[in-house]
Amino acid sequence: MATKLLIKRIVKISNHVFYLEIYLHLECKGLHNKIVWEIFPSNYQDALYAFSNKEKINKLIEEQYIYEPTNKLNVPRVRLENTN
């Protein structure tokens, strides 16, 4: 059985809606074990919010949707579940 290489989610942050896409088949150059993901705003106001709050959104998405909390060795575990 083939696995899905793309996970899509709808994310709501501070009353703004974003479409999150997680690409499981891509790797970041120079960064090992780094998951590649993108967010897409649903409208112009959401795009302005995302532009003004890049760091906050990056941290929130990586903590809640991409990586699990670290274990005792401070090694992050990657979430690979797909509930679509």
pLDDT at 78 over 90: no
State pLDDT tens for residues 7-52. Answer: 899 999 999 999 999 887 766 665 556 778 899 999 999 999 999 9
Q: Do 37 and 8 meet the contact criterion of CB atoms below 8 Å apart?
A: no
Residue 15 Cα to chain centre, angstroms: 18
Q: Is the pTM value of this prediction over 0.85? A: no
- Measured CA to CA, the distance from residue 69 to residue 63 in angstroms comes to 7
Exposed / middle / buried, residue 46 (Cβ in 10 Å: 0-12, 13-18, 19+): buried
